[in-house]
Chain A
Amino acid sequence: MTKASERAFVRMEQVGHCYDPAAGNMAVQQIDLEIHRHEFVAVVGPSGCGKSTLLRMVAGLLIPSAGKVSVFDRQVTEPRDDVGIVFQKPTLLPWLTVRDNVLFPLKHKYGLVTAADKVRAEELLAMAGLAQFSARMPDELSGGMQQRVGIVRALLLNPDILLMDEPFSALDAMTREQIGFDLLDIWTEHPKTVLFITHSISEAVLLADRVLVMSQRPGTVLDLIEIDIPRPRSSATINSPRFAELTARIRKHIYEPEVHA
């Protein structure tokens, strides 16, 4: 028997989904994907190609109408609580302090939090550089800081899988780049299996081990690209020729249909 870490951790086999069976148009179809443990996979594709659909299937929030999704050799049939989700918007609860927002998943799942949980929340906040903001209310924080809190919240339950749905798309370019590197730091320190949805090609290349390129709706896999740029990556990575090559390859995939048309 192979060790768990060597097996595919998340596996999608011929996955397809249709939101409206009556109309019959598929959101995604024939997706095959294997994600290894502690691998960082980014998904890019034009808007509406079903990137978020994939993410929700892994979380068990959506059961595919075709094919199957399994995590750790177990088919996903209901919402799983070993995933941490970071949404496009921070979606913090405005009536809770930053620390209580981070603790919210615990409070929500079990109804209570212990002193140890509070210490852990403070530690995570410190790691994200938010130590001095833990008693603040969310609306006192900038957009970038709010999204960091959103990431910290997703890490609280120490999930095996981190699902990120265009987490930085609402941020300005500079904040975005910085928070991306911060995410890599956190990921290095607390290795997780990451499924990262984005519509930024350079962000995908900069952060991920592999990039899944999806077609327009109905979303299918156009390419799965190994990003062989060594880690740790930095802003210098962006200037490397390999980075330019890889982004160009992806860009070609995405714009090709338009060129033909």
Chain B
Amino acid sequence: MSQKSMPNKTALSDTATLAIRQWLLNYASALFFIVFVVMWELICRVGKVPVYILPSPVSIVNAFFDVEFSRWLEHLWATLRVALMGFALSICISIPLAIAMVRSEVLSRTIYPALVVIQSTPVVAVAPLIIVLMGTGDMSRVLITCLITFFPLVVSTATGMLETPEELIELSKSLRAPRYRETWQIRIPYAIPHIFSGLKVSITLAIIGAVVAEFVAAEKGLGYFIQFSTSFFKIPQAFAGLIFLAVVSLVLFKSVQWAQQWLYPWSIPKNKR
């Protein structure tokens, strides 16, 4: 039997596989992206897919550079401004609301059903009404964005505050500390990881909210740009806008992650810091 030489061999191949695995793990997303784009281009070229069905990556890139960069920035700023204002408004509303709901059973019982009703109302359907009521200015778009983003924030904040270990609440009670300190020094910090999960969901929803609002009424913005491109059958240009929008969402999502890492490093599990 060749068992004697086996251990060495396996050890060697094990380290090699391990190294490859590590490398794959590090670059998996980049690799996947490259393969995906190359496949896409190949399918478009080999299959002679008409541009109005699926534009090729090259045509999308060309379409991107056909639009002046300053125009991109203008549209980006319009969308970003609304998304961030809506996001900020939603933070200002949902976190105090969640705190109030955790502290008051009555409030929680009265407000929760209302929140669920608001959340399950398709904002797309309500958006035109909001525009008619509040005008075509930024404010109505900000409100639409806020409506889409605030629910996950309320839920995650409240969940986090309620998941505080019972022992710490007992500790607080046994110290006979004022109730607001229980909220500020124990419950809210404990909710930070949950709040950030909520913020991560909300920031991507904020972009969707801003785009939905632009579909209903806007003169600028990436959503408007995409709708515009589609109405002129400029499909590659619409895709370029779509991809730009996705990149913006990704950057915002990452920014929330960075903010958490920077402000509250302890709130991230040690192996992920």
Contacts and interface: CB of A to CB of B under 8 A. Distances in A.
A61 interface: yes
Contact of A108 (B165, B172, B192, B264): B172
Given A94-B267, A139-B270, A108 B177 contact: yes
Nearest to A140: B270
Interface in A24-73: 56, 59-61
Contacts of A157: 175
B48 interface: no
Contacts, number: 60
Given A89-B165, A107-B185, A95 B266 contact: yes
A95 B189 contact: yes
Contacts of A80: 174
Interface in A86-102: 87-89, 91, 93-95
Contacts of A88: 167
**Which secondary structure dominates where chain A touches chain B?**
loop
B171 interface: yes
Nearest to B193: A94
Interface residues of B, number: 20
Contacts of A87: 167, 170-171
Contacts of B189: 93, 95
Contacts of A107: 185
A74 interface: no
B192 A95 contact: yes
A111 interface: yes
Interface string B139-174: 000000000000000000000000001011011111
Contacts of B177: 108-109
Contact of B168 (A59, A93, A139): A93
B4 interface: no
Contacts of A246: none
Given A93-B189, A107-B185, A60 B167 contact: no
A62 B185 CA distance: 23
A198 B270 CA distance: 31
Contacts of B167: 85, 87-89, 91
A57 B205 CA distance: 48
Nearest to B269: A139
A260 B267 CA distance: 52
Given A87-B167, A137-B266, A93 B176 contact: no
A91 to B, nearest CB: 4
A61 B173 contact: yes
A105 interface: yes
Given A108-B175, A139-B266, 13 more contacts: A61-B174, A79-B173, A79-B174, A80-B174, A83-B174, A85-B167, A89-B165, A91-B171, A95-B189, A108-B172, A108-B186, A109-B176, A137-B266
